[in-house]
Structure 1
């Protein structure tokens, strides 16, 4: 049985629920593998027509479990071998390929987001066909300030060139209402209505024959494929590794090793006054 998520089924809808609430559903290799299996199983089940991704706890997904990933890079830095970019890309592709299952699943995928959905959490959730968020949700890619690039590269396809650049070139936090206004997500709803709204849409879709859903999803997604989504994703995954191994990226890992990851993140974000830095300042 998986220990990072659970599944529920009703009315042709398979809910996949991230279930690491105490860890803000941060991404680990175990979650990656269990999420991949859960999506594949739902897509292969003839009784399932729609896949709904949601989460337990105070946050949808606060990105990667960076304690383990910074430790991995710190260990790498004292190795006798130089950074292997090809190996790094193979490793990161195992995560990216899992997120992209939400995109390439033949059936519609909906994400219901609350709380933080940042960094690697956006790599995951922006691969869903439709994203609905509660008013307390926040999106963003703070590692664009140092130590990362969006691996699935969905930002331009959802926002267009200028808006994607506006948010990625600052790493700014995007409250759910703003995310809906600029088109990053479908809509922002009251927090206590989030699950009902997402489930109602999923069940409405599930009334359509599966083959119709599959054809219509493929028809829409093919536009992004023709625009070069696969090559953007390859570049995003490669550049993520490069960003983690620039001098600034290595300095960030060193600071995280010395002072703890959360303090290193605060040091990075304090000049921008958002994410945890803003909330700490506001009391």
Structure 2
């Protein structure tokens, strides 16, 4: 699919994102184990929210099997904020992740909402391969509190994005998401999250993620791979061995 066509598709598929609404009301349908949302908006989730507010979140995210989208989209992402979380109760958030919509190969994207306006989508990379990891982060800047940047594979890929009322207020999120448009389409996904971390200061002061809340709709699965160290210690500069680095989990349908 050509870039201009893909951007048009993504604007429709992701621009209506509910961003973690009431996912606990979803149920598994009687046929094929597909998940449907009792609220009718089609959004379901499998992931975690940190137990503390932070100044950023990072993770290595891998689509660990082929993403199958019957309708809408699937995504694995990290981010902060949400509906009504900005200044004066406005919608405000920023996220970065790997996603796929019906009829497209997986792609890398960033999305932000500010001032209660419509979501803004940034396409960062196309035609991603199953099993290939990307290091993704959303991080508040130290020079401009309340301004955030998206990072991919260790480098910034956006300019600072100002989100009023955000500094030090939001508990970061790492989750998989499926949206089937409120219909009966059955979307399938598996995302592996490793080295999930929360920044305790602008510009990056990383500590292992500790889950304070779990998003898990019926029919989805969360498999813990590695918990945070008991004392929340810092990571080594390079991973050693084949074991996943905490915090690590797999979210799948």
Structure (1/2) with the larger strand percentage: 2
TM-score band, normalised by the shorter chain? under 0.3
Structure (1/2) with the larger helix percentage: 1
User: TM-score, normalization: structure 1?
Assistant: 0.23
User: TM-score, normalization: structure 2?
Assistant: 0.25
| Relative contact order higher in (CA < 8 Å, ≥ 6 apart) | 2
Q: Radius of gyration: which is bigger?
A: 1
